[in-house]
Amino acid sequence: MLENSAFRSAFEAADDLVRQLSASAVKIVFAESCTAGLASALLAQIPGVSAWHCGSAVTYREATKTGWLGVSAEDIAKYTAVSEQIAGQMATGVLRKTPEANLALSITGHLGPDAPRDFDGLAFVGVAQRTQDDSVTRIKRVACHRLQLRKPDRHGRAWEAATAVLNFARQSLLSERG
């Protein structure tokens, strides 16, 4: 069972992210695999988020990643779906598919149990940002972060991963302003 501090931490991250999105007038979108939409669902609990939250593509399976987001099947075969390369492609893919969004975050990982030993609790978060220069809109920055989830069970790891996604979004907005 998940302890109250994990719930509190997740909701505080969501609340703070909504304040930052509002202050910077940034719209956000997600591409979630291992969290199955939990980061988006946490954000959706905050009043007023509809002005800034575009949605989430839950791309749990490899074929969905390639079909919905344009992730390279060749890269999945080469790097696996749980990799920095795929997290980056997921973030850029969902940002391309969501013209009103300025910021995209993705997550892919193995929550366990029964994950390959080297992948158990491993996740990657992708961050992509859009810039607009006159009439040209393009993705200006992509970053990826490796996470080793610490919770011992799948449920705890899902909450840990979703909270991390929200925190990476917050950090991204702070670095843009800073």
Q: Which residues pair with 141 in a beta bridge?
A: 129
Q: What is the pLDDT of residue 177?
A: 64
Q: How confident is the model at residue 2 (pLDDT cuts 50, 70, 90)?
A: low
Q: What is the pLDDT of residue 95?
A: 95
All structural domains of the chain, each given as residue ranges with its CATH number in brackets, are 4-177 (3.90.950.20)
Least confident of 29-33, 53-57, 116-120: 116-120
Q: What is the pLDDT of residue 178?
A: 54
* 17/38 Cα distance (integer angstroms): 15
> Given its phi and psi angles, is residue 53 left (phi above 0), alpha (psi -120 to 50 degrees) or beta?
beta
- The alpha carbons of the chain give a radius of gyration, in whole angstroms, of 15
Q: What is the pLDDT of residue 140?
A: 75
Query: In this model, does residue 143 exceed pLDDT 60?
Result: yes
Q: H or E segment at 137?
A: strand 136-148
